[in-house]
Amino acid sequence: MTSMYTELTCQEFCRGQDSPLSFWRGGLQYCSCLDKLPDLTEERQSLCVKAEGEDTYTTTGRIFFTELLPSLQASSCAEIFNYGIFVNGRYYINNGEKVFCNFYDGSTVCDHGWLSYRNNCYSFVSEQMHADGHFESCAGHGSLLVSVSDQAEWDFLTLALSRIGYMKDFSVYIGLYDTQKTFSYMWSDETAVTLRKFYTGYPSNVDHRCIVFSKGSGTMLNVDCAASFGAVCERSSAVVGCVAIEPLNFAPIITSAVMTTPLCFETCRSTGVLYSLTKGEACYCVNDTSSFINIFGNWSACDRRCPGNEFQICGANNTDNVFVVKDVGQPYRTDCRDMVLGSVKTNVTLMNAATGETIVVDCHKLVGGRSPFHD
C-alpha cells in the first residue's frame, strides 16, 4: 500500500542482488538495481518514474556504487530490520553470508510492503485519513484495522512503528471501537478485548469512539473518528474474509439487531463449529468450506457493516456474500465483561486461566459479566 524503499533499503537490497549499482528516487521511494551506469540520452526510459497524480516523468535521483558503500553491521534479519529495512529479499550479513529475510518474523509470506508476525500480515499506512477512510482502504486490500490480542503483539507494533522511517512521526488508527458510547470497546474482528493501554486520563469524552496508537506516548488515545491519522491494517490468519457461497438455503443459528463478528464467532464456537458466517443481522455456522464458491482478495464485495459495530463487516446487502471467520484456536475469553458491555448476548466458551477448564455459559446471565470461576 506504500512503497518501502528508503535510500538505505535500496542500497542493501541491490547489494543482496549482487548489483554493482543502485538507483534511488527519494520522493517516490523508488529503487532500481543496475548492472551499469546508464546513458541517459539513450536509456533514460529505463529510469523514468512517474509520481502518482503527476503528468510528467522524471529521472531525478541518486545512483550509488555498491562496492563503495559501507556494509551494515548486522548478523541477522532482525538486526537488519532494526535499520528500518523491511523489504523481503536477500541481504548480506556480517560474515559475508547472504540470507533471505522475510520480515518481520518469517511466520508467513506477505505481500510486498507487509510485515509478517505470528502468521498474520500487517501494513503500516502513513496517509492521513479519517477512520472510515482507512477502514475502507484496509478492506480494499483484504484486511481490517489491526486487532491486538496481547502484550507481545503490542510490542511488535511499537517496534515496527519505531523502525519504519516514514511512520515515526504519526499516530495511527487501530481497530478498537466504542460500540455503545460507554467506553465498551470491541476489536474489528473476533479478538477478545484483553489489552487496554490507555494514556493517563483516557478514555475521555464518549463521543470520541475511535482509538489511535499514540506515537508520543506509545499508548491508546480515544479520538474523534473524523480526525485524520495514519493506520495499521492486518490480514489475520483467522479471518477468511469476504466469501461468495451457494444460496443460503438453511436457517441462521441466530439473528440479532446488534449482530457483530464476536457475537457470531462465539455462538458458533460454543457449538463446536469451525466457521462463523455473518450476513447483516444473521449468523450461520458451518464446519467446512464446501459451500464456498469464491474467496475475494478485495473485500469491497462485502459492503454491509455489522449492525452492532460499524467498523466490522457483516457480508453484503444484495448478494449471498458473507463474511467468514475461522476458529484457529484463538485464546478463550476468561470472563464476559466486554461481551456484556457491548450488548453481545450469546453463549460463550470461557476458560479458567488457573486450571485450563472450559465451560459454555450464557454471558447475558452473568451479573456484570463476571467470571463463573470466581463465584
C-alpha cell at 20: 554493482
Task: Please say if the pLDDT value at position 147 is more than 90.
Answer: yes
Cα–Cα separations (whole angstroms), residue 237 to 37, 109, 151, 177, 275 = 44, 11, 18, 21, 13
Q: Of 299, 136, 151, give the one whose Cα is nearest residue 231.
A: 136
- Domain covering 115-235 in this structure, CATH number: 3.10.100.10
Arithmetic mean of pLDDT, 96-109: 92
Cα–Cα separations (whole angstroms), residue 254 to 163, 183, 259, 312 = 45, 26, 9, 18
Cα–Cα distance for residue pair 115/103, rounded to 1 Å? 6
Cα–Cα distance for residue pair 82/80, rounded to 1 Å? 5
| pLDDT tens-place string over residues 186-236 | 999 999 888 899 999 999 999 999 999 998 788 999 999 999 999 999 999
Task: Please say if the pLDDT value at position 313 is more than 70.
Answer: yes
Arithmetic mean of pLDDT, 300-316: 95
Arithmetic mean of pLDDT, 355-361: 82
Looking up cell 455489522 gives 306
Identify the sign of the CA torsion 35, 40, 46, 51: positive
Of 159-173, 224-238, 259-273, 301-315, the poorest mean pLDDT is in: 159-173
Phi-psi region of 10 (alpha: psi -120 to 50; beta: other; left: phi over 0): alpha
What pLDDT does 1 receive? 44
What pLDDT does 352 receive? 75
Mean of the per-residue pLDDT values for the chain? 87
Q: Of 255, 309, 246, give the one whose Cα is nearest residue 279.
A: 255
Residue 56 pLDDT class (50, 70, 90 cuts): very low
The residue with greater pLDDT, 343 or 246, is: 246
Residue extents of the structural domains in the chain = 7-101, 115-235, 239-326, 337-374
Task: Please say if the pLDDT value at position 296 is more than 70.
Answer: yes
C-alpha cell at 50: 512517474
Bridge partners, 22 (sequence order) = 33, 64
Arithmetic mean of pLDDT, 35-58: 58
Arithmetic mean of pLDDT, 235-261: 92
Residue 153 pLDDT class (50, 70, 90 cuts): very high
What pLDDT does 245 receive? 92
Arithmetic mean of pLDDT, 144-160: 95
Residue 57 pLDDT class (50, 70, 90 cuts): very low
Residue 25 pLDDT class (50, 70, 90 cuts): confident
Task: Please say if the pLDDT value at position 342 is more than 70.
Answer: no
Cis amide bond preceding 203, omega within 30 = yes
Q: What is the pTM of this model?
A: 0.86
What pLDDT does 58 receive? 53
- Phi/psi of residue 165, nearest 5 degrees: -55, -45
Cα–Cα separations (whole angstroms), residue 153 to 86, 94, 150, 159 = 18, 29, 6, 10
Task: Please say if the pLDDT value at position 339 is more than 80.
Answer: no
What pLDDT does 3 receive? 57
Arithmetic mean of pLDDT, 349-366: 78
Q: 276-315 in b/e burial notation, b at 16+ Cβ within 10 A?
A: bbbbbbbbbbbeeeebbeeeeeebebbbbbbbbbebbbbb
Task: Please say if the pLDDT value at position 51 is more than 70.
Answer: no
Query: Would you call 141 helix, strand, or coil by DSSP?
Result: coil
Which percentage of the chain shows pLDDT scores above 90? 63
